[in-house]
Amino acid sequence: MLVYREAAERFTKSELLEALGSAFRRLAEEPLSDDAAVGALIHAGEVESALADLRSAGARAAAALTDLAAACLLPPPNRITDRIAGDAAGLIARLDLPPHICLRPLEGFAYYALHPQQYAALAQKFLQTTPECRSAAVVGIRSIGAPLSAVVVAALRSHGIAAERITVRPWGHPFDRELRTNRDEQAWMEAHGAAGAHFLIVDEGPGRSGSSFLSTAEAAVRCGIEPRRIALFCSHEPRTDNLIAPDAANRWHEFRCSFPACDSSPLPQGRGHELSAGAWRSVFYADASQWPGVWPATERVKFLADDEKSVFKFEGLGRYGDRVLQRSAQLAEGGWGPGCERAAAGFVRYARIHGRPANGELSRNTLIRIAEYCAWRSRKFAASAADHAELERMANYNLHTLGGWSAPAGELRLACVRPVLADGHMMPWEWVRTSSGLLIKSDGAAHGDDHFYPGAVDIAWDLAGAIVEWNMPRGAARELLDRYGSASGDDAEPRMPTYVAAYLSFRIAFLTMASESCDHAERARLQRSLEHYRVTLAQVMAHPLAQSA
């Protein structure tokens, strides 16, 4: 089933040149700033990956830009502090960008609290355990493997090791990707193998399959590299028995594997109790029987501050976090979310809202509050466009996979009248009810812009989510839509049947995938939600769906 979307952001040539120039000017002005170096690394790494995928001649200059930013991440005295602006400007001029270019987000930096310095530490750890290493061939798996491989090379060189790098892109089914090396990649691997280099395969993950790592390492073996000279640099310790690539566990154990320590990522000062991976429920619920089901591996890293007055949440490094912080500030100014401020290493500090997670109890005030929130969001977070063809593909595929369902006309069609950056999480527990009874959104800034569906979408997605998640009877749903219409001037009711079906198709797919990777207790909680979704979907599909024009 489809859960993850191809999140990509489209830039014009001038927009991208300005962003790169700005990032490296800041780095030149603040050469000892980790934030500046990470920001430049992210911009350069995204561009390097995109140009390499396009086989552009400018990819070489982009790689040199990435190397420049990576070297500036290392501790003094190894930082490059001279000629940064001039070197960067010369490289940027050689990029040969197309008029428009799409950049894929570097997911570990955007969502999963991965910090590039962790890979510099992995390189040092590798050298400590491999004292015979004199040279290294570093292979980054695009996209995030581009900047991470640059960091590894910079760290190795700082210890006197001869190191070079390339980046590659395995293709194919996500659970069984394959790397077919071209002539240049094969020659590069063979030459370094003949010279006795150690091969370091660098990426985040592994994900559910492990196939990107495995296919890249096995491509090196086909080029004559002994498996004992190949190491996989991962972002976390893999549970190899759970990898679903063919024969993944046996294949994985052919190679060395290295990953950061759990506490190695830079974290904000003043943090206290960790709330990640569903742990927040033990703080905000008195009884575990009330806990909603979650997919722990997909939750953002977060901590309750040691004074218990605020919450630290990872919202993204560099430009990723900047955008979430801006939206969080808008939510706070509008009275919808907690106050916030920037913290270190991609974290945002949010004021703790005094109250309890909402329990799904409906009242007229609750309906009005949700309706007004959707109307406010449709104005403040309006999107210029939305990829509804991709969303329709997800919904129709999942509906067919779930039960052979399809719309009367054969395909579910989703009208786009009010495109917005969706909230995406309208569940009652995502709202806090204060002592005065007011509902405050605990998190409305990040989910609509991550790597899960829907991405930019019509506001009907959030209205449908509210109807489903609050289990609204027909009368309550109609009042919600009437209130929203009065506040926004948008009659969303004709769009609701198809959006409810699309929303349910995603949530069932999401929770099904989540339950496959969770322990027994979490799986039981997820199954309760799944049953609600399935019953609701069956009711929706039992009636003709209103087809949008």
Question: Which residues make Cβ contacts (< 8 Å) with residue 263, sequence separation at least 6?
Answer: none
Strands (E), 161-318: 162-168, 198-202, 230-233, 256-258, 271-274, 302-305, 310-314
Q: Which H/E stretch holds residue 356?
A: strand 355-357
Residues 6-50 have pLDDT tens digits of 888 899 999 999 999 999 999 999 988 899 999 999 999 999 999
Task: Answer yes or no: is pLDDT of 405 > 80.
Answer: no
Task: Please determine, looking at this structure, whether the domain spanning 355-541 carries the CATH number 1.25.40.10.
Answer: no
Residues 232-270 have pLDDT tens digits of 999 999 999 989 999 999 999 999 999 998 878 899 999
Q: Write down the domain spans for the chain.
A: 1-105, 106-266, 271-351, 355-541
Instruction: Tell me if residue 448 falls in helix, strand or coil.
Output: helix
Whole-number percent of the chain with pLDDT over 90: 85
Q: How far apart are CA 419 and CA 387, in angstroms?
A: 10
Closest among 58, 116, 67, 59 to 87, alpha carbons compared: 67
Closest among 129, 40, 127 to 79, alpha carbons compared: 40
| Confidence class for position 79, pLDDT limits 50, 70, 90 | confident
pLDDT, average across residues 490-499: 96
Q: What pLDDT score was predicted for residue 407?
A: 59
Q: Decide: residue 435, CB within 10 A, 0-12 exposed, 13-18 middle, 19+ buried.
A: exposed
Q: Do domains 106-266 and 355-541 have the same CATH topology?
A: no
Please check whether residue 368 is in contact with residue 443, taking contact to mean a CB–CB distance below 8 angstroms. no
Task: Answer yes or no: is pLDDT of 546 > 50.
Answer: no
Length of the chain: 549
Task: Answer yes or no: is pLDDT of 549 > 50.
Answer: no
Average pLDDT, the chain: 93
Q: Which H/E stretch holds residue 425?
A: none
Q: What pLDDT score was predicted for residue 408?
A: 54
DSSP per residue over 221-275, as a string? HHTT--GGGEEEE-SS---GGG--STTHHHHHTTSEEE---TT-S---TTEEEE-
Instruction: Tell me if residue 415 falls in helix, strand or coil.
Output: coil
Instruction: Tell me if residue 495 falls in helix, strand or coil.
Output: helix
What's the predicted TM-score (pTM) here? 0.93
Task: Answer yes or no: is pLDDT of 410 > 70.
Answer: no
Q: How far apart are CA 21 and CA 209, in angstroms?
A: 37
Domain formed by 106-266, architecture: 3-Layer(aba) Sandwich (3.40)
Q: What pLDDT score was predicted for residue 77?
A: 67
Q: What pLDDT score was predicted for residue 212?
A: 97
Residues 505-542 have pLDDT tens digits of 999 999 999 998 898 999 999 999 999 999 999 998 88
- Mean pLDDT is lowest, of 27-31, 192-196, 316-320, for 27-31
Task: Answer yes or no: is pLDDT of 421 > 60.
Answer: yes
Closest among 230, 234, 229, 226 to 202, alpha carbons compared: 234
